[in-house]
Amino acid sequence: MTMIFEPDFGTPASHKLDQVNLEIDGRTITVPADTSIMRAALVAGIDIPKLCSTDSLKAFGSCRLCIIQIDGRNGTPSSCTTPVAEGMKVSTQSEKLDRIRKGVMELYLSDHPADCATGDECEVHGVAKKIGITTSRYTNTETHLDLVKDESNPYFTFDSTECIVCNRCVRACDEVQGTFALTIENRGFEARVSSSGTSFIESECVSCGACVQACPTGALTEKTLLTIGTPTSSVITTCAYCGVGCSFKAEMRGEELVRMVPLKTGGANEGHSCVKGRFAYGYATHTDRITKPMIRAAITDPWKEVSWAEAIAYAADGLKKIQSESGINAIGGITSSRCTNEEVFVVQKMVRAAFGNNNVDTCARVCHSPTGYGLGQTFGTSAGTQDFESVEHSDVIMLIGANPTSAHPVFASRMKKAIRKGAKLIIIDPRVIALVRTPGVVAAHHLQLMPGTNVAVINALAHVIATDGLIKREFVEERCDAQSFSDWEKFISLPENSPEALEASSRVPAGQIRAAAHLFANAKNGSIYYGLGVTEHSQGSTMVMGIANLAMATGNIGRKGVGVNPLRGQNNVQGSCDMGSFPHELSGYRHISNPDTRKIFNDAWGIELQAEPGMRIPNMFDSAIVGEYRGLFVQGEDIAQSDPNTSHVHAALRAMDMVIVQDLFLNETSKFAHVFFPGTSFLEKDGTFTNAERRINRVRPVMKSKIGKSEFDVACELSTAMGYPMSYENSAAIMDEIAATTPTFSGVSFKTLDELGSIQWPCNEANPAGTPTMHIDHFVRGEGQFMKTPYVPTDEKASRKFPLLLTTGRVLSQYNVGAQTRRTANNIWHTEDILDLHESDAQLRGIEDGSWVKLSSRVGETIMKARITDEVPAGVVYTTFHFPESGANVITTDYSDWATNCPEYKVTAVEISPSIKGPGEMIETHISGDPQLDSIIRMANQIAANVPESGAPEIQIAHHLVQFWTPSMIERLQNDVNKAELSPIVLKAIEILLVRN
């Protein structure tokens, strides 16, 4: 393996269409207008020395090494700051230029260590050699060589003695990251780079690494580069944290990973990174890693290390035994959004082919399943409509229930860049997130709604747009279904949807809604970005449809700068959904009930697929508690920590007879497991991840698998042991099968991916290079479908006993359940989950900042530290769920989205009180009765409440049940439920289903 070298053309590319011809050193060169002379020369292979310029940053013109001479012009301008012009004649070499460059370099060398710590990494010595000078005539001079190193950041050092004050770090922090944490202090010779007058760790720095990346010397250096040494080889791969899916060069020295360097040609990140992807990869080689399979008879027994063969046989025997006793549907599996598309595809295939049922679900159930439902209904496909770059073309950006500076930092930087260029920002969030006001960004509107009232706000916005004549009728008439639009328009124009009528629920002043609606509707390009603050609600799917309605009504679909864009939580949550992980869908979002789709797989796999949907994760838990569901394979997801209502989840896991966990580490779920299969980290995987912009990125192995095999081999072996032989030569072969069976992936192969770098699906004959923007001429489903979105308040209401509403989220330095980040130095920033509350709520309860508080809901209680802040309004409290000790999900309930069962993580009625002691045992509630029946009743009534009353609601309900419920659940609804507990429309729907049968 060799080092992958990315050329640096000094200044950013020009996007001008007109071309300019010029002559450089006698060579005729044609480049786009506004290109710098430097870039024109470097692209043509003519070298120009430089230190302060790099093509990720605007030209600065400070080092004065890149000077050139131009015929007919005076002086020696810098080539980085001088744009090309037609007919220009440029010389990059002359005696005079050589003299000045040497003179400048002498100045640099007079205040720079003769031997840099990073050796050849230092561009000063490299450029000095190139221009033929190694020493300086200035001697016994004043220097900065006695300055002290700042080692405060866990990942990189700042050594001011090596700093040449080129400002690349400061500019990267400003222009690329948008944090403005760095500056230059003092003037003249005393000008030095400073993390704004304090140490890096105490500064505003977010450790994204952009400054380290930009630094041409050893001044800002990864600590690993100093301890491990210069890398000798590199591999391009994809980050395994959030759904942005940044591309990195993993740089190795022998078998050791030296550093992760963001890839400039990475489609998602274009050379940028965040603290997690750039630095927090140490978990992959953490000593906690389990690398050998383990089994045990009972969850109270100690684990026993066994061979792979024994572990596989033990697991298969257990599962087969269950099926022989309780039927083919008594087992199932959960695929992982942390795993590759290939691994996911194989696991869902194992469930459908070897387990013989459709009981496969994925962790997207608890995050973006409403996106799948909502966008599927309105647009016809479950995915964001744009690429990330699109946001830089937006004039107005609406950000709903997402906190990208913490959860999607690299995308947040792009968004901030767009805002600094003039885009307006509308934020809909209960919390004062950073983007409301941060350096360079002031949101035009912050609609600070109460948790659980998203639909009220989106309806109010749409109402204003409809009733103030702001609908883009031309777009709607040309692109959308006329009947659904006119129904929707009537519905949304009803007075009950006006901002004034909904103000009491949402607490957003009507005037603000009206102003924001006008701003958005009048934008040339308006885009909507949203996160789990939209989906994780009892009306999550309704809200997604409300967002889609708004985008269609304002004509914001089908070009750059617009669209509806879910910010996906996990690296491959898009991919795991694409790969057929949902119980009702096969890969490419094709319903299991479609015989043509089933035929493709029946033929390919030599099986007979069940035609009805299998169980969703919550259905699995409910069935487990009543003893019908007894065996589970769960890969790379810690459901015991991450799923809501921990008591309920634990009870379900405890009730099962064979729980198989595959993970990097022992986790909360493995406490209930009988078999533990070790997994592989992203650094060992070979495959693909698909990010939030539908971009399929290659994941390439950087080091040998620590478990001695590929992770997909384990599913294949388990499948084979279950009686369905399965094996693949490599991941590429799996992708070939995906492509052969999935129309939207038909053009995808590892070969094409290696050629193109990445591909955004759909990729097929019509779009061989993929599809950056979707729905350009028509929607995937044909015409855009407007959906009525009645606002139904959640049943989870603040009460006298639980007067506060808890909402949850993430911080920058930690990631989800923390399995990865807690095993890195990121703990320096965030060591525990903290409860944020407003001062008035704190005073009322005698709670002091930093003190312990007991947090309780109707399902459980826990203890954590309080932080008094005005980032949450009175009546709302907030925490993260990164640490198992705090067990935030002990508090959250099993209420969920009516259409998809996505848990309502974002609204839990709670009470808090001072606590004299810190966290101890979490208090779980006893689960009794028939939770499955309770869920069936609640879900059925919830569906009825959310289906619009007009237009045969019973038929819609019946259709929904057949599409998404398992046959056994429908059966219980028909036979076991006390009819008095069901809404009359559900009863009508049951009648329809009976007739149908």
Which of 14, 619 has the CB closer to another protein? 14
Q: Does 186 bind another protein (CB under 8 A)?
A: yes
237 closest CA partner among 682, 709, 691, 692:
682
φ, ψ dihedrals at 69, nearest 5°: -120, 145
**Token pair of 14, please?**
């020009």
Give SS3 for 358: coil
Contact window for another protein (CB under 8 A) among 10-18, 96-104, 308-316, 597-605: 96-104
Strand positions, DSSP E, 622-725: 631-635, 658-663, 675-678, 687-690, 695-699
Q: Helix, strand, coil shares of the chain as percentages rounded to 5?
A: 35, 15, 45
Which residues are paired to 697 by β-bridges?
689, 758
Q: Does 100 bind another protein (CB under 8 A)?
A: yes
**Signed CA dihedral, 458, 462, 465, 470: sign only:** positive
CA–CA gap between residue 565 and residue 567 (Å, rounded) = 6
- Give the shortest CB-111-to-another protein separation in angstroms: 6
Q: How many Å is the Cα radius of gyration of the chain? A: 29
- Give the shortest CB-201-to-another protein separation in angstroms: 24
- Give the shortest CB-182-to-another protein separation in angstroms: 12
Which of 2, 186 has the CB closer to another protein? 186
- Give the shortest CB-952-to-another protein separation in angstroms: 54
- Give the shortest CB-787-to-another protein separation in angstroms: 40
Give SS3 for 947: coil
Strand positions, DSSP E, 174-223: 183-185, 192-194, 220-222
- Give the shortest CB-106-to-another protein separation in angstroms: 8
- Give the shortest CB-76-to-another protein separation in angstroms: 5
Q: Does 188 bind another protein (CB under 8 A)?
A: yes
What lies within 8 Å, CB to CB, of 818 at 6+ separation is 882, 883, 884
- Give the shortest CB-681-to-another protein separation in angstroms: 44
What lies within 8 Å, CB to CB, of 813 at 6+ separation is 207, 275, 276, 280, 821, 826, 827, 828, 829, 830
Q: How far is CA 82 from CA 11, 54, 90, 944, in A?
A: 11, 15, 11, 66
762: preceding bond cis by omega (within 30 degrees)? yes
- Give the shortest CB-147-to-another protein separation in angstroms: 15
| One character per residue 4-43, x = contact with another protein (rule: CB under 8 A) | ----------------------------------------
Contact window for another protein (CB under 8 A) among 16-24, 98-106, 214-222, 469-477: 98-106
Contact window for another protein (CB under 8 A) among 95-103, 198-206, 477-485, 613-621: 95-103
Which of 165, 804 has the CB closer to another protein? 165
Q: Does 704 bind another protein (CB under 8 A)?
A: no
Which of 64, 788 has the CB closer to another protein? 64
- Give the shortest CB-189-to-another protein separation in angstroms: 4
| One character per residue 910-949, x = contact with another protein (rule: CB under 8 A) | ----------------------------------------
Contact window for another protein (CB under 8 A) among 138-146, 200-208, 741-749, 937-945: 138-146
The residue from 99, 437, 704, 797 that contacts another protein (CB under 8 A) is: 99
- Give the shortest CB-272-to-another protein separation in angstroms: 23
Between residue 101 and residue 130, which ones bind another protein under the rule CB under 8 A?
103-104, 107-108, 110-111
The residue from 190, 202, 317, 608 that contacts another protein (CB under 8 A) is: 190
The residue from 137, 800, 926, 996 that contacts another protein (CB under 8 A) is: 137
The residue from 3, 191, 776, 955 that contacts another protein (CB under 8 A) is: 191
Which of 65, 774 has the CB closer to another protein? 65
Which of 108, 898 has the CB closer to another protein? 108
Which residue is listed with tokens 């094996």? 727
* DSSP conformation class of 430: S
Q: How far is CA 972 from CA 571, 623, 675, in A?
A: 37, 12, 32
Query: What kind and span of H or E run contains 57?
Result: none
| HEC letters along 488-545 | HHHHHHCHHHCHHHHHHHHCCCHHHHHHHHHHHHCCCCEEEEECHHHHCCCCHHHHHH
- Ramachandran region of residue 137, left (φ > 0), alpha (ψ -120 to 50) or beta? alpha
Question: Which residues in 213-248 are b (16+ Cβ under 10 Å) and which e?
Answer: bbbbbbbbbbbbbeebeebeebbbbbbbbbbbbbbb
Which of 392, 981 has the CB closer to another protein? 392
CA–CA gap between residue 893 and residue 881 (Å, rounded) = 14
Between residue 400 and residue 419, which ones bind another protein under the rule CB under 8 A?
none
Which of 187, 996 has the CB closer to another protein? 187
Contact window for another protein (CB under 8 A) among 188-196, 209-217, 811-819, 849-857: 188-196
552 closest CA partner among 465, 491, 467:
465
Q: Does 196 bind another protein (CB under 8 A)?
A: no
What lies within 8 Å, CB to CB, of 921 at 6+ separation is none
Which of 186, 978 has the CB closer to another protein? 186
**Token pair of 606, please?**
């030599």
Which of 4, 131 has the CB closer to another protein? 131
Q: Does 469 bind another protein (CB under 8 A)?
A: no
CA–CA gap between residue 104 and residue 618 (Å, rounded) = 68
Contact criterion met (CB below 8 Å) for 632 and 659: yes
- What is the total count of residues that contact another protein (CB under 8 A)? 37
| One character per residue 46-85, x = contact with another protein (rule: CB under 8 A) | -------------xxxxxx--x-------xx-x--xxx--
**Token pair of 763, please?**
């990729």
- Give the shortest CB-186-to-another protein separation in angstroms: 7
Contact window for another protein (CB under 8 A) among 179-187, 432-440, 518-526, 659-667: 179-187
Q: Does 442 bind another protein (CB under 8 A)?
A: no
**Signed CA dihedral, 626, 326, 671, 284: sign only:** negative
Q: How many helices (H) and strands (E) does the chain have?
A: 32, 37
CA–CA gap between residue 570 and residue 363 (Å, rounded) = 9
Between residue 868 and residue 907, which ones bind another protein under the rule CB under 8 A?
none
Q: Does 624 bind another protein (CB under 8 A)?
A: no
Q: Does 189 bind another protein (CB under 8 A)?
A: yes
- Give the shortest CB-208-to-another protein separation in angstroms: 22
Contact window for another protein (CB under 8 A) among 133-141, 196-204, 473-481, 786-794: 133-141
- Give the shortest CB-141-to-another protein separation in angstroms: 6
The residue from 183, 233, 720, 925 that contacts another protein (CB under 8 A) is: 183
- Give the shortest CB-269-to-another protein separation in angstroms: 27
The residue from 167, 556, 574, 816 that contacts another protein (CB under 8 A) is: 167
Which of 192, 938 has the CB closer to another protein? 192
- The DSSP-derived string for 228-285 is H-S--EEEEEE-SSSTT--EEEEEEETTEEEEEEE-TT-TTTTT---HHHHH--GGGG
- Give the shortest CB-826-to-another protein separation in angstroms: 32
CA–CA gap between residue 802 and residue 855 (Å, rounded) = 10
Which of 99, 709 has the CB closer to another protein? 99
Binding footprint of another protein on the chain (CB under 8 A): 59-64, 67, 75-76, 78, 81-83, 96, 99-100, 103-104, 107-108, 110-111, 137-138, 141-142, 164-165, 167, 183-184, 186-191
